[in-house]
Amino acid sequence: MTDNYDDELLKDTDDDIVKPNNAPSRSLSGWGIAPVVIVAIIGIIVGGVVASITKPDFHRTPSTPEETRVGVDPETIARLVELDEILEANPDDVETRLERATIHVEIGDIALAELDAREILRQNPESSEAWAIVGMYYWLQELDCDKAEEAWNKSMEYSPDADHTQMLKFIEQCPAMIAQASATPTGQ
């Protein structure tokens, strides 16, 4: 079912992404892990990143890994280094890339998480987990509710058995939250 793949959503920040001809028709690890990962990603966002939406530096251009890792606990840094090494040796390891993206979400660097999510989508355009991350990127980094909603709808489509309650709340609340963030003067 790759007919639903949306090149336009992916084109915004990575023009060289192409749709694979024989993309798998299931989520990363089958349907069993998708709901858990999506709920975890949403929980992380609700718990930390949403509270930070009005910080002046939050809507900045993608950071470097060194910037991202400042203030992060040593165990998380060590795991990111391990994941980086694994991906250097095997850049097509989707499970490792998803773990790294999820850690970037946890530490509040949506931009780096989104880069991994886009790479996952190059290999598996039906990855509900990756679409959830892309939706968060559009919501929090680009302040674009329409694109965020489109990505989240794809995430829900590719993981129909998951509990999407929180994602539906994000879709409903997105315009008000972005209006509030946009109205907050820089430096407050």
How many separate domains does the chain show? 1
| Minimum mean pLDDT range among 58-62, 143-147, 151-155, 178-182 | 58-62
* Paired tokens of 157: 């489509």
Average pLDDT over all residues of the chain: 74
- Contact present, 67 and 99 (Cβ < 8 Å): no
**How much of the chain, in percent, has pLDDT values that exceed 90?**
38
Answer with the residue of higher pLDDT: 42 or 119. 119
Question: pLDDT (tens digit, 9 = 90+) per residue, 132-147?
Answer: 999 999 988 888 999 9
| Residue 60 covered by a domain | no
pLDDT at 169 over 80: yes
For 144, phi and psi rounded to 5 degrees? -120, 95
More confident residue, 33 or 183: 183
Place of tokens 């890994």: 65
CA gap 86, 102 in Å, rounded: 16
Distance separating alpha carbons of residues 138 and 13, to the nearest angstrom: 11
Residue 177 included in any domain: yes
Whole-prediction pTM: 0.64
169 within some domain? yes
Residue 79 lies in a domain: yes
Is 118 within 8 Å of 95 (Cβ atoms)? Answer: no
> If you search the block for the tokens 């939406």, which residue do you land on?
53
Residue 134's domain comprises: 35-51+67-182
| DSSP conformation class of 29 | T
In the predicted structure, residue 52 carries a pLDDT above the cut 50 = no
Residue 3: how many other CB atoms lie within 10 Å: 5
In this prediction, residue 178 has a pLDDT band, given cuts at 50, 70 and 90, of confident
Q: Is the pLDDT of residue 43 over 50?
A: yes
Domain contains 152: yes
Tell me if 13 is assigned to some domain.
Answer: no
3-state SS assignment for residue 28 = strand
In a domain, 10, yes or no: no
CATH number at residue 151: 1.25.40.10
CA distances in angstroms from 23 to 1, 2, 26, 37, 125, listed in the order given: 9, 7, 9, 21, 7
Q: Is residue 72 part of a domain?
A: yes
pLDDT at 117: 97
**65-95 burial: b if 16+ Cβ within 10 Å, else e:** eeebbeebeeeebeebeebeebbeeeeeebe
CA 160/CA 80 separation, integer angstroms: 30
Residue 10, helix vs strand vs coil: helix
Who contacts 109 (Cβ-Cβ below 8 Å, separation ≥6)? Answer: 63, 68
Predicted confidence at residue 1, as pLDDT, reads: 44
